[in-house]
Amino acid sequence: MFSGGGIEKRGISKAVSKRSSSSRRSSSSSSTGSGSTSGSGSSSGSGSSSGSSGESGRSDNNSGSSSGSGSGSTPVGSPPHVQMASHESLNSESKSSSLNSKLGHESAGSPSAGSPSPPKSVCSSSSTSTDQHHHHQLAHVLNATSKMTVRDGTRTLRPDEPTLVPGEHMEGTAREVTYLCPYTGPKKGTLSVTNYRLYFRSPETDPPFELEVPLGVVSRIEKVGGANTSRGENSYGIEIFCKDIRNLRFAHKQENHSRRMVTEKLLQYAFPASHKLPFFAFEYCEQYPENGWTVYEPIAELKRQGLPNESWRITRINEDYELCETYPAVWAVPAAASDTDLRNVTAFRSRGRIPVLSWIHPESQATITRCAQPLVGVSGKRSRDDEAYIQHIMDANAQSHKIFIMDARPSVNAVANKARGGGYESEDAYQNAEVQFLDIHNIHVMRESLRKLQEVCYPHIDNAHWLSNLEATHWLDHIRCVLSGALRIADKVESHKTSVVVHCSDGWDRTAQLTALAMLMLDGYYRTIPGFAVLIEKEWLSYGHKFAQRIGHGDDRHQDEDRSPVFLQFVDCVYQVMKQFPHAFQFTEDLLITVLDHLYSCLFGTFLYNSERERMEKEVKTKTVSLWSLILSNPSDFENPLYNPATRHHVLFPLTSMRHLSLWDKYYCRWNPSMRPQEPVHIRFKELLHVKGQLERRVDELRRELAARQTHESPRVTSAIV
């Protein structure tokens, strides 16, 4: 383990890829007041919002601070090419001094960084960004034609109704409804429900106050007060509990009889799976310049890693998902293992999830493989085929004669699983293998931890007891455990050149967290915008993380024991690493928030269902739009101006002690207006990107001038006179 954070650089030539940049939508003016800001600090370019939306009146919620940690010193025994992350480099905050004056006359006559040109396409109207110019992007795009007309031109909208996105239609409208904002008090207005979102608009402020929430974010709906029991103003209505930490309450007038209609429509479209309705993703038909479904191609990704080679082969033995229904169709397995061996090993691994390759070191050939627990049981069963298979994985790495098996569970849980037919590998049975337990708790513990965190962060923050309340949630303890486990895996592969097998119980929750984070630390490709999309598609989606059950897409069973914030924890861990290494990621935390918001929104088909097989059966790739279409079509919305492409070939070793971790307040506390920074950081980032582009162009010009001058002034070569 490392006592300090560091970056290790491999001896690989730099490759700086050119990144295309698309225009960003214009900013919108919104009303002030509610504090329930819209979700992603960066919403998605082509006119789309980022999913779990919020209230207008938002200022930028992007702190932009990177209060990282780092010792600045190199640990004893580190190789000369190890660069330690200094405190200054881990605390690279975008300064508040204006850069506008530095843009100079070169930017006159062209759109400034703060005034982006209109987007290329129109997307969802679920504004989830906390930034001012991210709120209500659709309204801005569609205003260019007619604010009062629906896209399909079938009818005229009232001023208090939302502008609809392709595939969206109105389901009901209730007037004289009061939104009980926990920060600014009651606001009266109109509540509209579509087949995609809830939209509230109050004309009491100037500009009007607006709130919109994708219905996929809704976890449960409860009626408040009864017709014969409610007394007093605003005591009769509904309360909506959301998956993104907030809860919203609306008061209805009993004489209007509007609550019943709103409740019925919300239940119907917030929980389409429970009502045998299609997800809105199958109705949404926006067109994007980039097709996000092509970002990940398994064979191409394996070839990028140098496969197949003499030690590893690519197989389509699971092409029909018969061998393992939760695994992808394409695997990379040891070349020494035959198809018969693979079939025999599936019988000894939980759910048939055998060890398959996730990542291979480009130099040492040490590997990260993932699987599920062995079916040892209380009798201590053994499988010669499974033991030989693990030996094949070790033998494929000529640099080491040892292999580590990283079991994500606490050892007590692993032992308890024997009673249910599972268990863990015995070091007596698996020669040259060392089993290590990483002490990461199960999905039920994580769900309870998030519930406690929600109580601490929303609606009000107890500043006097903030630290003790946060500690009582144990959320950062769990984040530390996951990060520490991933760091141990990366260390074994990079520093010790040994292969690692990773598993938990079934291999689709904690296993995905560990392998994806270790790969993020080891391979700079996954720290680029398209690479991060590939990482999620590969380690989470194709290998069967149960998104539908963990998130509860479209069903009303909010107390389902299968729900858990496993993927949220992974993204939080990515944020913690980004904070310590702000120059090593091509994207900002706005991309992470956009991904999380659309994890819930059901606007895109990316996170629907539990496995690759289910998505194939539902024809998700042909009938829905990919989230990566939105992101790859608008990369400039998520680009990090501090990114140094040279870090692409660096290995990151983050600090994982508690004093170097902090709550991701831009995500968890974004609805509270007191947590917003005074300056919109996304505008500062756009300015920095503009200046960076100018400087890069100037450097290129100077290099060309220097080359031309050297050519012109080079001495003339003459032959000797004899």
Amino acid identity at 14: K
List CB contacts of 167: < 8 A, sequence separation 6 or more.
195, 196, 280, 283, 284, 285
Task: Please tell me the distance from the alpha carbon of residue 597 to that of residue 212, in angstroms, as a whole number.
Answer: 13
Helix 384-395 and helix 339-346, axial crossing angle in degrees, nearest 10: 120
Bridge pairing between strands 331-334 and 197-202: unpaired
**At 24, which amino acid appears?**
R
CB 290 within 8 A of CB 629: yes
CA–CA distance from 110 to each of 144, 640, 680 (Å)? 20, 22, 21
To the nearest 10°, report the CA torsion of 360, 521, 575, 594: -30
Give the Cα separation of 249 and 510 in Å (integer): 35
> Going by C-beta distance under 8 Å and a sequence separation of 6 or more, which residues neighbour residue 228?
none
User: How does DSSP classify residue 215?
Assistant: G
What is the token pair recorded at 329? 């169709």
Residue 229, token pair as written in the block: 């029991």
As a whole number of angstroms, the distance between CA 661 and CA 27 comes to 33
How far is residue 457's CA from residue 280's CA, in Å, rounded to a whole number?
30
Amino acid at 239: E
Tokens, residue 687: 């300015």
Partners of residue 251 on adjacent β-strands: 178, 237
Q: Rounded to 5 degrees, what are φ and ψ at 169?
A: -145, 155
Are 440 and 409 in contact by the 8 Å Cβ rule? The answer is yes
> Is the separation of the CB atoms in 672 and 458 below 8 Å?
yes
Q: 656: closest CA among 2, 11, 29? A: 2
Distance CA 660, CA 581 (A): 12
Start-to-end Cα distance in the chain: 70
Q: Which tokens belong to 661?
A: 């971790």
β-sheet bridge partners, residue 84: 6
Nearest to 369 by CA among 541, 507, 573, 534: 507
Asked if residues 558 and 552 have their Cβ atoms less than 8 Å apart, the reply is yes
**Beta strand segments in 541-625, E:** none
For the chain, the maximum distance between any two Cα atoms, rounded to a whole number of angstroms, is: 119
> Could you tell me whether strands 367-371 and 331-334 are parallel, antiparallel, or unpaired per DSSP bridges?
unpaired
User: Is 123 among the residues known to form the active site?
Assistant: no
In the structure encoding, which two tokens stand for residue 376, read together?
Answer: 């040892």
Helices assigned H by DSSP within 196-297:
259-270
Residue 144, token pair as written in the block: 């260019």
What gap in Å lies between CA 304 and CA 315, rounded to an integer? 16
Backbone angles phi, psi at 335, to 5 degrees: -65, -25
Residue 673 DSSP class: G
Q: Rounded distance, CA 52 to CA 198, Å?
A: 11
611/512 Cα distance (integer angstroms): 13
Q: Which of 181, 504, 573, 602 is catalytic?
A: 504
Residues with catalytic function: 504
